[in-house]
């Protein structure tokens, strides 16, 4: 095979994605099943249990202690039916942080996992918005169908109205006397029946009776399986779906406008095969990425990638950090020299690591779509581009609106310089967001974070690495919006102070941000200032102190 053919073949086998969900929807269970089907693990229960964590601090320390494990599970590469899956973890619970959002900038698609009794929950919406913003394809899997849940049409309606995306159910649940009986695959016209007893006796093959093909929803076989009532309901449901929906539109799916929906039960291995087969068929392999010089094709004959996550080592003896690189084009080989575009330096990456689900192993080769971990001695920042020599840069990963805010109070007034240096460095690195009130006491610092854990990490690292003790006083703000003027207008900072029921601050790049206590205040401000755009991510203009 020629080099380019080989490259294209390898990239074509990659599927790089994340599972987005609210805690408890079944993400760990689904991940485990993927590994089980991929032959990586033999028994359910092998994925590290993540429950029983008391609070953010101990949680993080625990994560540190079990470092090897937590890092390998943050990216998992595993084979599945001839494909190479790269599953990137989006930590929830106490680990929820800006990293969770940034990870979604490194994937080509997502699986949105819903609990059939709960529908769209808050964390799912937040993660979904990032995916929607990137216009990446999103699959929906409605889990826990073995338990009583909400009406499936209700769930479809909720996803459409709350998340603003079209839904195309590919499988549809069928019931007998109100009890879940299985799913009907609308494209294949196959019925998959659920067997609770089988689920109990076979952990590996699960609760699925071999699917059978039917001639259509009026097949008499279904009448026997579902009883009169269940049969009539399926007829009615499918008719409604046919009336409501067009054909499955692949283009709209790829653009993130319509989500194929599946129903099943992860713990019982039910409905997963139907889902996974369609997932493998529809989920695209790595495509092009936008850079400041134009579009970079995945099969470009030059390695390139960007850093989407930096994990600091908490062990004082090991000051190094691990940077996660999403490869966007070409092939990475161990020992190659890479160009760090922001600093213009050529570097050799130390110990590049691949995160195979079974183990961490040194990279010999990795391709577009893969994620490698490299040791960072302090030169990398989130969003940095690495190439084999070219000078282009990929679009930066934005800052995301924090929801936790604290005033930073130094407990070591004599170590002011160290504090300023430390906090600025941590903010540059993306550990926490730093703001300075536009009108306030000189030197006043406000920290913003997407998750509470980020605050704990910041406090710990300031003391551990910079020798500064601080106190973080929680502020009542919960919403941040970067502000910029509408086209042809200039930003009237005075008006921001006057009209917004919130605090006007500048971020580290001197972009203006307004912090609000409640969501309604954003709408209120938008009405009062029609010439101003309030963004959930940072992309705004720069304002210097005193400008108005």
Binding site residues, ligand G4P, CB under 6 A: 21, 23-29, 143-144, 146-147, 265-268
CB-based contacts of 151, cutoff 8 Å, min separation 6: none
- Nearest-CA neighbor of 70 among 505, 287, 373, 329? 373
Whole-number Å distance between alpha carbons of 257 and 328: 23
Whole-number minimum distance, CB 155 to ligand G4P, in Å? 15
Whole-number minimum distance, CB 275 to ligand G4P, in Å? 12
Whole-number minimum distance, CB 30 to ligand G4P, in Å? 7
Whole-number minimum distance, CB 92 to ligand G4P, in Å? 7
Whole-number Å distance between alpha carbons of 507 and 52: 36
Whole-number minimum distance, CB 143 to ligand G4P, in Å? 5
Whole-number Å distance between alpha carbons of 221 and 195: 17
Q: Which two tokens stand for residue 141?
A: 């899997």
By C-beta, is 21 or 97 nearer to ligand G4P? 21
CA angle, corner 501, sides to 496 and 503, nearest 5?
Answer: 65
Whole-number Å distance between alpha carbons of 144 and 27: 11
Q: Which residue do the tokens 């997963």 mark?
A: 272
Residue 193: how many CA atoms within 13 Å on its side-chain side? 14
Whole-number Å distance between alpha carbons of 446 and 437: 8
By C-beta, is 91 or 430 nearer to ligand G4P? 91
Whole-number minimum distance, CB 31 to ligand G4P, in Å? 8
Q: In this structure, what DSSP letter does residue 425 have?
A: H
Q: In this structure, what DSSP letter does residue 265 have?
A: B
By C-beta, is 73 or 406 nearer to ligand G4P? 73
Whole-number Å distance between alpha carbons of 389 and 339: 5
Which stretches of 177-257 are assigned E, i.e. beta strand? 179-185, 190-193, 212-213
By C-beta, is 24 or 320 nearer to ligand G4P? 24
Whole-number minimum distance, CB 197 to ligand G4P, in Å? 15
By C-beta, is 86 or 265 nearer to ligand G4P? 265
The distance of Cα 10 from the centroid of its chain, to the nearest Å, equals: 24
Whole-number Å distance between alpha carbons of 219 and 30: 32
By C-beta, is 94 or 470 nearer to ligand G4P? 94
Whole-number minimum distance, CB 434 to ligand G4P, in Å? 31
By C-beta, is 24 or 535 nearer to ligand G4P? 24
Whole-number minimum distance, CB 148 to ligand G4P, in Å? 10
CB 35 within 8 A of CB 47: yes
Q: Which two tokens stand for residue 247?
A: 């054909």
By C-beta, is 16 or 29 nearer to ligand G4P? 29
By C-beta, is 41 or 267 nearer to ligand G4P? 267
């Amino acid at each position: 095979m020629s080099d380019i053919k080989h490259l294209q073949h390898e990239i074509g086998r990659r599927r790089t994605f994340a599972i987005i969900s609210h805690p408890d929807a079944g993400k760990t269970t689904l991940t485990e099943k993927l590994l089980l089907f991929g032959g990586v693990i033999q028994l359910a229960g092998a994925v590290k249990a993540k429950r029983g964590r008391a609070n953010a601090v101990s949680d993080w320390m625990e994560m540190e202690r079990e470092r090897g494990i937590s890092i390998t599970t943050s990216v998992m590469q595993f084979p599945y039916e001839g494909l190479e899956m790269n599953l990137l973890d989006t930590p929830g619970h106490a680990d929820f942080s800006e990293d969770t959002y940034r990870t979604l900038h490194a994937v080509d698609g997502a699986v949105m996992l819903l609990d059939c009794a709960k529908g769209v929950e808050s964390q799912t919406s937040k993660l979904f918005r990032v995916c929607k913003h990137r216009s990446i394809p999103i699959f929906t899997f409605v889990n826990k169908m073995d338990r009583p849940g909400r009406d499936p049409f209700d769930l479809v309606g909720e996803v459409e109205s709350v998340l603003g995306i079209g839904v195309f159910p590919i499988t549809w649940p069928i019931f007998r006397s109100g009890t879940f009986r299985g799913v009907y695959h609308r494209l294949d016209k196959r019925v998959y029946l659920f067997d609770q007893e089988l689920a109990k006796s076979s952990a590996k093959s699960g609760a699925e009776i071999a699917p059978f093909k039917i001639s259509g929803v009026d097949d008499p076989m279904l009448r026997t399986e579902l009883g009169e009532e269940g049969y009539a309901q399926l007829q009615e449901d499918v008719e409604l779906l046919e009336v409501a929906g067009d054909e499955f539109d692949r283009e709209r799916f790829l653009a993130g406008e319509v989500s194929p929906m599946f129903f099943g039960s992860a713990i019982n291995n039910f409905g997963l095969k139907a889902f996974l087969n369609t997932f493998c068929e529809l989920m695209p392999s790595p495509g092009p990425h936008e850079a400041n010089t134009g579009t970079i094709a995945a099969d470009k004959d030059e390695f390139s990638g960007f850093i989407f996550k930096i994990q600091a080592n908490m062990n004082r003896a090991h000051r190094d950090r691990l940077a996660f690189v999403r490869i966007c084009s070409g092939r990475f080989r161990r020992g190659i020299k890479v160009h760090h575009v922001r600093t213009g330096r050529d570097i050799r990456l130390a110990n590049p690591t691949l995160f195979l689900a079974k183990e961490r192993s040194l990279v010999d080769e990795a391709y577009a779509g893969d994620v490698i971990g490299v040791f960072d001695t302090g030169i990398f920042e989130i969003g940095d581009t690495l190439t084999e020599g070219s000078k282009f840069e990929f679009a930066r990963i934005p800052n995301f609106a924090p929801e936790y805010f604290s005033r930073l109070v130094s407990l070591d007034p004599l170590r002011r310089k160290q504090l300023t240096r430390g906090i600025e460095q941590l903010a540059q690195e993306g550990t926490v967001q730093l703001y300075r009130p536009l009108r306030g006491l000189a030197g006043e610092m406000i920290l913003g974070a997407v998750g509470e854990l980020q605050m704990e990490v910041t406090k710990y690292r300031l003391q551990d690495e910079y020798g500064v003790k601080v106190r973080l006083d929680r502020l009542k703000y919960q919403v941040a919006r970067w502000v910029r003027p509408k086209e042809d207008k200039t930003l009237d900072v005075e008006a921001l102070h006057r009209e917004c029921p919130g605090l006007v601050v500048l971020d580290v790049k001197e972009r203006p941000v307004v912090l609000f206590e409640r969501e309604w205040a954003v709408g209120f401000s938008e009405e009062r200032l029609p010439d101003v755009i309030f963004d959930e991510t940072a992309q705004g203009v720069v304002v210097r102190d005193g400008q108005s």
